[in-house]
Amino acid sequence: MIKKNTKLIKSKAIDLGFSSCGISKATFLKEEVIRFEKWLKNNMHGKMYYMQNHFDKRLDPRLLLDNAKSVISLLYNYYPNEIISSDNNYIISKYAYGQDYHIIIKEKLKHLIQFINKEIGNVNARTFTDTAPLLEKVWAAKCGLGWIGKNTCLVNKKNGSFSFISEIIIDIELEYNQPIENYCGTCTKCIDACPTGAIVKPFIIDANKCISYLTIEYKGDLPTELKDKFNNRIFGCDICQDVCPWNKFAKPNNEPGFKPNEKLKKMKKDDWVKLDETEFNKIFKNSAVKRTGYKGLMRNIHFLS
């Protein structure tokens, strides 16, 4: 029955558009304790103070769901069909081209739970996609969906690193997958390419220097000493992923919701500078860019203009 249920869940996940599905036993991540504590102690989380909260829950999914038995990890490809031109333009991260991934993936996770309840029986489960104190990349690596690269992104051997990660914590036992080898080898392309030196050593990011953190999460004045290193990026940063050799295997996604707004594709620097809040709301309706808000985005634009 365990084998059958596992096969049913993985098959349905692929039918729903997920590129990969792996499963781990819900347990305490004791090997992550020292690494995570040290990262926090060194203040490498910047002003993301929420990272300090629910420390125990981040390391043990059984604290997020009573009687949790399994963690189902899923990848959803977001590599775009076309790259928006950077010519005389400001740049936003590829993951924010289209509709907010939370909206799309949450709906798919809901359908997967409905399927499980119908085909396997009523279960107790919780779904997550970047919305809970859960070390998502660790769980995805634990079940063999990839390995955590030197830029701290999850890298999949077949599809590279342009994937969203989501999870289902569930109260039934399933067949568990094993982690795979780390294939970064001696490569340091991501470290060498980071313009701000945010990858302070392999597998460690200092958020205080990270363009993605600074343009999205950080709410204060941007550090003037880094102004010339932003490379026209106003929301997120893909540099460490773009140079990763494994991303030569990245394939365009098949999700209609990830297609960029036509107005966004035509934007040039002058258009960004003149952008008003009404137009911002039209272009970025249901977009991840809403996270930084109009004022935050204009702060980033004016910082570089």
CA 224/CA 123 separation, integer angstroms: 52
* 157 within 8 A of 51, measured Cβ to Cβ: no
Please, what is the end-to-end C-alpha distance for the chain in angstroms?
A: 61
130 is annotated as an active-site residue: yes
Phi-psi region of 133 (alpha: psi -120 to 50; beta: other; left: phi over 0): beta
pLDDT of residue 33: 82
Distance of CA 235 to the CA centre of its chain: 14
Pairing of strands 233-235, 91-92: parallel
pLDDT of residue 32: 87
Q: What are the pLDDT digits (tens) for 110-134?
A: 999 999 999 999 999 999 998 788 8
Q: What are the pLDDT digits (tens) for 246-297?
A: 999 999 999 999 999 899 999 999 999 999 999 999 999 999 999 999 999 9
Helix (H, G, I), strand (E, B) or coil at 246: helix
- Give the H/E segment covering residue 71: strand 70-77
CA 61/CA 119 separation, integer angstroms: 24
Q: In the numeric block, which tokens belong to residue 278?
A: 């009404």
CA 32/CA 39 separation, integer angstroms: 11
HSE-CB of 284 using CA atoms within 13 angstroms: 22
CATH of 2-81+97-170, one of 3.40.109, 3.40.1130, 1.10.10, 3.30.43: 3.40.109
Question: For the chain, what are the domain ranges?
Answer: 2-81+97-170, 189-251+261-304
- Centre a 10 Å sphere on the Cβ of residue 224 and count the other Cβ atoms it contains: 8
CA 165/CA 47 separation, integer angstroms: 23
pLDDT of residue 55: 77
* 84 within 8 A of 260, measured Cβ to Cβ: yes
Which residue among the candidates 66, 87, 130, 171 is catalytic per the annotation? 130
* 199 within 8 A of 241, measured Cβ to Cβ: no
Statement: the pTM of the whole predicted model exceeds 0.75: yes
pLDDT of residue 40: 81
pLDDT tens per residue across all 305 residues of the chain? 899 999 999 999 999 999 999 999 999 998 888 888 888 888 888 777 777 776 788 889 999 999 999 999 999 999 999 999 999 999 999 999 999 999 999 999 999 999 999 999 999 999 999 878 889 999 999 999 999 999 999 999 999 999 999 999 999 999 999 999 999 999 999 999 999 999 999 999 999 999 999 999 999 999 999 999 999 999 999 999 999 999 999 999 999 999 998 999 999 999 999 999 999 999 999 999 999 999 999 999 999 98
Radius of gyration of the chain measured on its C-alpha atoms: 20
pLDDT of residue 98: 95
Helices (H), 96-222: 101-119, 136-142, 189-193, 211-216
